[in-house]
Each structure stands twice: as structure tokens, then as C-alpha cells.
Chains A and B, each alone.
Chain A
Amino acid sequence: MSTLDTATDDIGHDHHGPASGIGRWLFTTNHKDIGSLYLWFSLLMFLTGGVMALMIRAELFQPGLQLVEPGFFNQMTTMHGLIMVFGAVMPAFVGLANWMIPMMIGAPDMALPRMNNWSFWILPFAFAILISTLLMEGGAPNFGWTFYAPLSTTYAPPSVTYFIFAIHIMGMSSIMGAINIIATILNMRAPGMTMMKLPMFVWSWLITAFLLIAVMPVLAGVVTMMLMDIHFGTSFFNAAGGGDPVLFQHVFWFFGHPEVYIMILPAFGIISHIIPTFSRKRLFGYASMVYAMASIAILSFLVWAHHMFTVGLPLVGELFFMFATMLIAVPTGVKVFNWVTTMFRGSLTFETPMLFAIAFVVLFTIGGFSGLMLAIAPVDFQYHDTYFVVAHFHYVLVPGAIFAIMAGVYYWLPKWTGHQLNERMGRLHFWLSFIGVNITFFPMHFIGLAGMPRRIPDYALQFADFNMVASIGAFIFGFSQLLFVWNVIQTVRHGEKAQARAWEGAEGLEWEVASPAPYHTFATPPRVD
């Protein structure tokens, strides 16, 4: 597809190698270092949020209250959601962007390396603040990751102020990251790398970054309004003072729905690299993939009230948001069609990244279908706030976003470390995860349809069996992630030497530099034709 006319992979650059010691990581402006920092941080958050998920599932193993207090249970559901969304999924994608985008477009580094360092290093502080609320008087936030006011204002524990502060910092980090990514993609491309030649992961991130810039400030706005309601006597969400709690939901979901696409578009990008590689074919329908992502992004601003069908919207509102939501399924369907068509008559092999990618396509589609069911306003009155919703968004987020991240990590790990991963362990991890995820989340569809509400520590007896099944699945899934951690650490340390083009069918600039990728790549831009 593209060739280099300067040999850049053998630049010695010893005098420009990484600094040594902790200073290397604190002060680094190297996109590869920062990418690694983001990815390790995300892994740490993934495990932290995972422990919380297992506490939730342990309590729900049987009806009745046995392990934790209901108040603590609510803190666990809240913190699990916040940590997974803002601490695990989003930083992982930013980490992948840092590592891969400059290499994919033939740039020497990100456009704004110093800001890049800042956007990472404020994150650990945000999460230290958030997690420390667990030890505060009154406990951690307990109002759900959606923090509906006035539950999160009038009735919140005092730690809510720290929560707001943490969200502000995370928002700043995301905005800085997004600005950096846009500047890199628009201004740093190698000569000849036109927009319609951009690798799909780069396209997906360009669109995601614009979404971030559009909605993270709205999130900052809504938590600022909460702060003012709590401490400065305003009444944005307080009916007694003329405010309106439903307003909170409108503003929150104006952020919230685009946010779910922020968590899935980069996944689409990753999958669009892996499937062609292991099908040994070009991606089917490149242009339609780009347009599909762009239309998903635009439509995502017009559907937020599908989370609010039951607040008392007028009939025209219900209809508008119902049809607009269903419309999003069309570009999403185009993407699924293109992936399947790429595989069609390809010479497929099933290495670990490909297994995760195929599982992504299948299971994400199941999540899309349950989304379509929820989009039907009249039936959502029954499904809303039940485990059916939990099943839906876990299907799009766990075997969706998380599987895509893992697929990406396995796929690019040889490039990062210079070592082939342990395939056997990778496949074992895949199968345990695949089985675990389905045992966990598939039964939730049924208990949801049968009426089990979400966010409760105890439940009626008729839900007992399926809850037990789900909890068993969760423990299988949870513990099999240790295989992933182990495999990654082992691959970093040693392993069979990886070639520059670590996978036979892999295409793109990143595969033309050596493995492991030298500390500085593309100091002189390659020529792309």
C-alpha cells in the first residue's frame, strides 16, 4: 500500500534514547512513553474497577443481603461505572492513539508533546481523588455513574465535591488529549498521506476527538452546576428554587450519548485494522466506513433523550428520539456489513487478535440489537432501569470496547515490545473471556425482561438462578484477565523475536519500522504514495 523511500527504521539516535530512572516517565514527551503510561494506567484502573464489579456480583450471587451494606453496594456500582468509563476504556484508547497515530501517519511525535505529558499526568491525580472518597466520612459517591440530581446534590454524601473536582480534571485531560490528536492528524501527516488514505484507526480517532471537544465541556458544565447548587445556593436542579431535575438529565445525556460513541468509535478503528490483516484482504468499503463513522458522530447529538423516555416527554419527543435512535443502527449496520464482507473469501487465520475481533463483531451486534429494542419507546417503559439495560450496555462495552482494546493490544504488542506474544495463552485468555462474558451478561437479558431493577443489592427470589449464573460467569471472566496481565508482562520481558511486519498480512506504515519500534520513528517523514 505504502512504501518508504527513506530508511528510517535504522536511525541510531542513541543520544536521543530514553532518559533513565523515574524521571524518564515523569518528564517524558515521547509519544511512545506516554502511550505506555496511558495503557498501564488503564490496566490498573481496569483491575480496580473489576474488583468492584466482583464485589457487586458476589453480593448478587444469592438473594438477601450477605456481604456488604446496601449503602456500600451503591458506592460500588457508582465507582465501578465511573472507573471503567473514565479510567479504563477512555485512557486505553488515548494510549493506543499515542502509540499508533504518529507511526501510522509517518509523524515523528504528537503535535504538542509537552501538553501530552500534562494530559496524562493529571489523570492519576483525578483518580486518586475519586478513589480516596471511599475512605471519607459518608463514603464515596453512591448515586450511580449517571449522578442524577438532586440525588447527587441535595441527597449526596459530602464526598460529592471531590467527585466533581475529579471529573473536572478528567475532562481537562480528555480535552487536551483530543486537541493534541486533532492537531497531530491534521498537521503532522507525512507528505502524500491524504485524508482518504488515513488508516481507519486514525480516522476513528479524528472523529472521536471532535466528539470529545464537543461534549466533555458540557460534562464539565453540568458538574459545575451541581457544585453551585451544593455550595453556592443556586437552584439549577432544585425545584424549590425554580430549577428542574429533568433539566439535569437533558444536559447529562447531551454529553452521555456522544460519550458512548467516544467509547466505541476507536474500537471500530482497531477492528478495521485487524480483520483485513488476518483475512489477507483490503478493508471492504473504506470510504463508506469513514462516512458511516461521521454520520454516527453527527446523529449521536440528536438521540440523547432515548435515555429519558420515561420522564414524561411529549409524544412528538418520544417519536422523534425513537426514530432518530433507530437511524443510528443504519451506519452501524454498514460497518458490520463491511467487516463481514472483508472476511468473506479471505484466507482467514485465527490468531488471538483475530479471535477477539471476530467476537467483537458478533457480540457487539447483539448489543446493537438490544439497543434497538430499547429504542422502541413504548417497550422501553418496561425495560428502562432493569437489567435488560445493564445487559445491553455491557454487551457493547465489554465484548465491544474492551475486547477491541485487548485485540489491539495483542495485535500491536509485537511492535511495541519486539517480542511475539504467547499465542497459546492468548487463545486460552480469549476463550475464557468469551465464555465468561456471555455467561455473565446473557442471562441479564432475561432477568431484565422479567423485571429485575438495576442498582439493587437484593432481589426477588424468582431471579435467583440467573443471578447465580451471572455471578459465576463474572468470576470466570474476572480471573481470566490475569492471563492477559501475565501474557503482556511476559511479552514485554522476553519472547520470540518479532519481525518488523509481525503479522503476515499486516499493512501500514507502523509495520515498516523495526520491532520493537525505535524510540524515535520517522524523524524524516516517509513518502507515501
Chain B
Amino acid sequence: MDTARANRRLVIRLLGGSVLMFGFGFALVPLYDVFCEVTGLNGKITRTGAIETVEADTSRQVRVRLIGINNEGMPWEFSPQQSLLTVNPGEMKQTAFQAYNPTGRSMVAQAIPSVSPGVAAQYLHKVNCFCFNAQPLQAGARADMPLLFVIDKELPPEIHSITLSYTLFDITEAQAADNGSAEPDGGSPI
């Protein structure tokens, strides 16, 4: 019968549509990252790695406030060496965060950065950061974790201060499960 054929065709199309939309839900994940990257939203830092040195713009000063936060249940002591830096755009700045593992077991941590205001994220260039890698610490050990960054000279003039905060997550178990692969799942944590 005609209707039966028409029904079958329609059902196949509609089922196809739902499968597509199921895929679209997952496609939203990379799309979201791409969108944040292109627009520089969400305070995610996307510019990393070596950089050509340029002359600093000494006519301008930007305050960079550093914050270290422990995620729930993370027992480490974690704080910036200096909590407030004054930086000239273009100047390469070196600092560090101090970490101490007071527990009796070795642990692995991952720091997740966030920049506020979000638009400043794309002007913050990290040459080197402890957040690029998982950070292991033996029981009772201390470490200075380095951070090397440059603020782009193109930073919009209305921005006078930037907050760079790190949240420290305990990933010991995940690392053990992954057999020590350096990169946790779900994309780059940078």
C-alpha cells in the first residue's frame, strides 16, 4: 500500500534526524571549545609556548593578581610566591607557585587556570607554566612550580588589572588508572 511505503520512508528520515541530533549533542563539545577559542571567551588561555622577545612598553603598567585555590578535598598547601605583580606589557615575567604535600602518600595534581576579565585571556601568553603538566609530589615534599608569561602589548587600554587564578585538582587516582599518561582525558587542560 502507498501509505505504508510513505510511512517507512518518513520513519527512516525521522530516525536519521534523531541520530543526527544525538551526534549534534556531542558535536557541541568541540564546537564549544572552538567557539571559546575564536572569540576568546571563557577565560581559557590559548596562547602558549615560546615567543619572540619584544621590547617592553614601559609607559604602561598592568597589575597581575595571582590566586591559588584548592579544589574540594585537595589537601595540599598551594599559594603564589607573590600574590600581586606589576608588569609592563611585552615584558617577560617569571614567578612561581609554592606547593606542599602534607599527606603521607605521594600524589599528583593538575592546576586549571582561569583569567578574569575573560577578554584578557587572549592577551596573556604563557611561555611556560606548571599547569601544562600534571604535578607529582612525594609525601611531605615541597616544590616551587614555575610560571613564565608575557602580557601582549595589544592588551586593550581599559584593562589595568588581570586576575590569574589556578585551581588545584587531585588527579592521583585518575593518573593511577591511566598508568601515568601525562595528558588527562577530555582534551588539553590548558
**A interface residues, Cβ below 8 angstroms from B:** 111-112, 175, 178-179, 182-183, 186-188, 213-222, 225, 233-236, 238-244, 246-247, 250-251, 254, 312, 314, 317
Contact = CB atoms under 8 A, between A and B. Distances in A.
Nearest to B187: A242
Given A240-B112, A250-B28, A179 B11 contact: yes
A179 B185 contact: no
B169 A220 contact: no
Contact of B174 (A233, A251, A317): A233
B25 A222 contact: yes
Interface of B: 3, 6-7, 10-11, 14-15, 17-26, 28-29, 32, 39, 41-43, 71, 110, 112, 118-119, 167, 169-171, 174, 177-178, 184-190
B3 to A, nearest CB: 5
Nearest to B73: A154
A233 B171 CA distance: 11
B32 to A, nearest CB: 5
Contacts of A183: 7, 10-11, 14
Contacts of A244: 32, 42
B42 to A, nearest CB: 7
A507 B88 CA distance: 77
Contact of A221 (B6, B7, B26, B190): B26
A188 B185 contact: no
A111 B3 contact: yes
- Max chain A CB contacts within 10 Å: which of B3, B18, B184? B18
B11 A236 contact: no
A243 B189 CA distance: 8
B18 A213 contact: yes
Contact of A217 (B18, B42, B169, B170): B18
Nearest to A212: B18
B18 A238 contact: no
A251 B28 contact: yes
Given A187-B3, A218-B25, A182 B10 contact: yes
Contact of A314 (B10, B21, B41, B169): B41
A28 B136 CA distance: 63
B119 to A, nearest CB: 8
A219 B26 CA distance: 10
Contacts of B170: 240
Contacts, number: 123
Contact of A247 (B22, B23, B29, B43): B29
B28 A254 contact: yes
A241 B32 contact: no
A314 to B, nearest CB: 5
Given A112-B11, A188-B3, A213-B18, A238 B186 contact: yes
A183 B112 CA distance: 49
Contacts of B25: 217-222, 225, 251, 254
A242 B3 contact: no
A238 B42 CA distance: 15
A402 B17 CA distance: 30
Nearest to B44: A244
A186 B24 contact: no
State the 7 A-B residue pairs at the shortest beta-carbon distance, nearest first. Answer: A221-B25, A235-B186, A240-B169, A217-B22, A217-B21, A242-B189, A218-B25
Interface SS, B side? helix
Contacts of A243: 186-187
Nearest to B116: A312
Nearest to B18: A217
Nearest to A182: B14
B14 A225 contact: no
A236 B29 contact: yes
Contacts of B187: 235, 241-243
Contact of A234 (B3, B14, B186): B186
Given A182-B10, A216-B21, A243-B187, 7 more contacts: A179-B14, A216-B18, A220-B22, A234-B186, A235-B184, A240-B184, A243-B186
Contacts of B189: 240-242
Nearest to B19: A217
Contacts of A234: 185-186
18 contacts: A175-B18, A178-B14, A179-B10, A183-B7, A213-B14, A225-B29, A233-B178, A234-B185, A238-B186, A240-B174, A241-B110, A241-B186, A242-B187, A244-B42, A247-B29, A247-B32, A254-B25, A314-B41
- Max chain B CB contacts within 10 Å: which of A175, A236, A240, A317? A240
Contacts of B18: 175, 179, 213, 216-217
Given A217-B22, A235-B186, A241-B184, A186 B174 contact: no
A221 to B, nearest CB: 3
A220 B169 CA distance: 29
A218 B25 CA distance: 5
Contact of A186 (B10, B26, B39, B167): B10
A284 to B, nearest CB: 33
Contacts of A175: 18
Given A215-B21, A233-B185, A241 B171 contact: yes
A453 to B, nearest CB: 21
- Max chain A CB contacts within 10 Å: which of B21, B174, B187, B188? B21
Contacts of B169: 239-240
A222 B24 CA distance: 11
B21 A213 contact: yes
B171 A240 contact: yes
A214 B22 CA distance: 9
A216 B22 CA distance: 8
Contacts of A312: 42-43, 118
A213 B18 CA distance: 6
Contacts of B171: 240-241
A323 B20 CA distance: 29
